[in-house]
Amino acid sequence: MSDWVPSSEALEIDAQRRPLMRFLSRHVRDESVREDLVQESLVRLLVFSRRQTIENFAAAARFIAWNVMRDHFRRHRRTSAEPLDQDYSGDAPLPDQVLLHKQRLQRFIELLDQMPPLRREVFIRRRLHGQSHAEIAQALDLTQDAVEKHIVRGMRQLGEAIDLK
């Protein structure tokens, strides 16, 4: 067993551990980072105490801890980059999704243009504008059965065209 006895200086530095943890907890949420910053601060305090006489260890410890923390965040801000997440779920769609949607829309418009005019009108009123069969029948002077047939045939025409692609 060793007869080593810590100096009063070492005891004073060690006594700053808990106050520094509390001090840094107001600014640093991550406990492991906080512990690293406290450890770095205490090492710097020890090195500084060997070169200078320290009258107020608590004030010196807080001053050093503040600088260590500030340096840490500067380094972190300068070097941190978040990896791109494959499952990114931001509000804006990804560019390839925008392109795909534009291509699908263009194909849909082309298919609508290939429909007979009356079928296209019925289909657009029902599927895009949400009008009821009765509203469409009244507006276009058709029977509700005719409206239903136009919608079914329009869906079949779109389905076949999409299947061929």
Q: How many CA atoms lie less than 13 Å away from 76 in the CB half-sphere?
A: 8
- Distance from C-alpha of 20 to C-alpha of 36, rounded to nearest angstrom: 11
pLDDT at 77: 76
Q: What is the pLDDT along the chain (165 residues), one digit of tens a residue?
A: 555 556 777 778 778 889 989 988 888 888 888 899 989 888 888 888 888 888 888 898 899 999 999 988 888 776 655 665 565 556 777 888 888 888 888 888 888 888 899 999 998 899 888 889 999 999 999 999 999 998 889 888 888 877 665
- Distance from C-alpha of 11 to C-alpha of 17, rounded to nearest angstrom: 10
pLDDT at 138: 94
pLDDT at 140: 92
Residue corresponding to tokens 């919608």: 151
SS (H, E, C) 71-125: HHHHHHHHHCCCCCCCCCCCCCCCHHHHHHHHHHHHHHHHHHHHCCHHHHHHHHH
How confident is the model over 77-123, as pLDDT tens digits? Answer: 766 556 655 655 567 778 888 888 888 888 888 888 888 999 999 98
pLDDT at 145: 92
pLDDT at 137: 93
Confidence (pTM): 0.44
Q: How many CA atoms lie less than 13 Å away from 35 in the CB half-sphere?
A: 3
Q: Which amino acid is at 37?
A: L
pLDDT at 81: 58
